[in-house]
Amino acid sequence: MAERGAHLTGTAVLKPTIFEIVAQESLASTLEPAFKRVFSFLVTCNPERYGWLAQWSDEAYAIFHGMLQRFYLKNYGASFAETFYGLQRIATANSKPAGKISKGQQNLSLIFLLLDPYLKAKASQFELDEIDGRPSKEKWKRLLKTYFVKGHRIYNLVREVSGMYYYLSYISDRSAYPNPLLHLLSMSLTYSHPHELISISELLSKWKEGNFTTSDGIHLLQRGFTRSLELGTFFLQFINWWNQENFYNNLMSLPVPPPPPVPDIARRYKGLCPVCIKSPSIPTALSVSGYVFCYQCILQTIQTNGKCPVTHYPAKEDDLIRLYN
């Protein structure tokens, strides 16, 4: 992308395509699950000593994410995903480019890059705790988590709707901002300059001549880490794409198992409600057993006994499914 990179002069700035912007956002979303998978693997290697760290995975990722994004914002003026796709953030004034982003814009960018995934992870965790029946014992904590989840849902809805609006405006050249966050921070995206990097051969020459300094060693380690991370992320994206492409094909290629034999008791109740032994009125299936009853018959039976009258499997009202002939 170096040949089409534009100088930040305020007169000629190339706008990235919407596909590159969406691609870098997709890449950014793969960092968290990849890190948490590696983190959980390290924890399970010695659960007796490090098992307590599992509950701090969100905070551990926030620290790692903050260090990573700070490095890229400081050195490249862009986030990790934006740098991977050859993009760079620029300051804007009245929707026109105004040079490189300032130190304050770097700090604000870092804060927003960290807050969004962290709040999303916390909202998902609170929802899972509620579903799994693990609410907080204190009432004020339960209320706080409930309102936090509801507030995050509203925020997420507003972000998705406004993000779609900005996408359409960006595609139609009515806006220079690809998303509302960049507009809020008075920044936009363009193609980055080719960065001047010391080649490995030059570093080896310095080593032979005895001119290899500590800063060269740190530079070499940084380059090795960032290149490894970028290659690993690209490989992870490829694996996700491969799994999505082959999921349905692999599923449909599986052999269809034969149907189970119909028991005698099921033949006896064919076309009849097992409770009143009549044709079902408002046919209703019980999902835990598969038998079809009259709605009133099975509702009263479950409310009284809490189980299927035929198989005696535990059942509740949520297991009732209305059938429409």
**pLDDT digits over 217-264, tens only?**
665 666 666 666 666 666 666 666 666 655 555 555 667 778 778 788
Rounded CA-CA distance 284/302 in Å is 13
The predicted pLDDT at position 14 comes to 77
Domain boundaries, the chain: 2-191, 264-322
* Tens-digit pLDDT string for the chain (325 aa): 444 444 444 445 578 888 888 888 887 777 787 777 777 777 777 777 777 777 788 888 889 888 888 988 888 888 888 888 888 898 888 878 778 888 888 899 999 989 888 888 888 888 777 766 666 677 777 788 888 888 888 988 998 899 899 999 888 888 888 888 888 888 888 887 765 555 556 666 766 776 766 666 665 666 666 666 666 666 666 666 666 655 555 555 667 778 778 788 888 888 899 999 888 888 999 999 889 999 989 998 998 888 999 988 999 888 999 888 7
Specify the CATH number for 264-322; select among 3.10.620.30, 3.30.70.2190, 3.30.40.10, 3.40.50.360: 3.30.40.10
Q: 224-260 burial by CB neighbour count: b if 16+ within 10 A, else e?
A: eebeeeeeebeebbeeeeeeeeeeeeeeeeeeeeeee
Amino acid at 237: Q
Q: Is the pTM of this model over 0.75?
A: no
Residue 246 CA neighbour count, 13 Å, CB half: 7
Residue 204 CA neighbour count, 13 Å, CB half: 3
Q: 294-318 burial by CB neighbour count: b if 16+ within 10 A, else e?
A: bbebbeebbeeeebbbbbeeebeee
Output the CA–CA distances (angstroms, integers) from residue 142 to 49, 117, 132, 209, 227, in the order listed.
30, 22, 14, 66, 44
The predicted pLDDT at position 92 comes to 87
The predicted pLDDT at position 320 comes to 92
Q: What is the secondary structure of 133-192 as a DSSP string?
A: T---SSHHHHHHHHHHHHHHHHHHHHHHHHHHHHHHHHHTTS-S-SSHHHHHTTEEEEEP
The predicted pLDDT at position 284 comes to 92
The predicted pLDDT at position 30 comes to 77
Q: How far apart are the first and last CA of the chain?
A: 61
Rounded CA-CA distance 307/68 in Å is 55
Measured in degrees and rounded to the nearest 5, phi and psi for residue 253 equal -80, -10
Rounded CA-CA distance 97/92 in Å is 4
The predicted pLDDT at position 4 comes to 45
Amino acid at 313: Y
Rounded CA-CA distance 1/78 in Å is 15
Nearest CA-CA partner of 89 in 63, 116, 108: 108
3-class secondary-structure state, position 275: coil
The predicted pLDDT at position 294 comes to 92
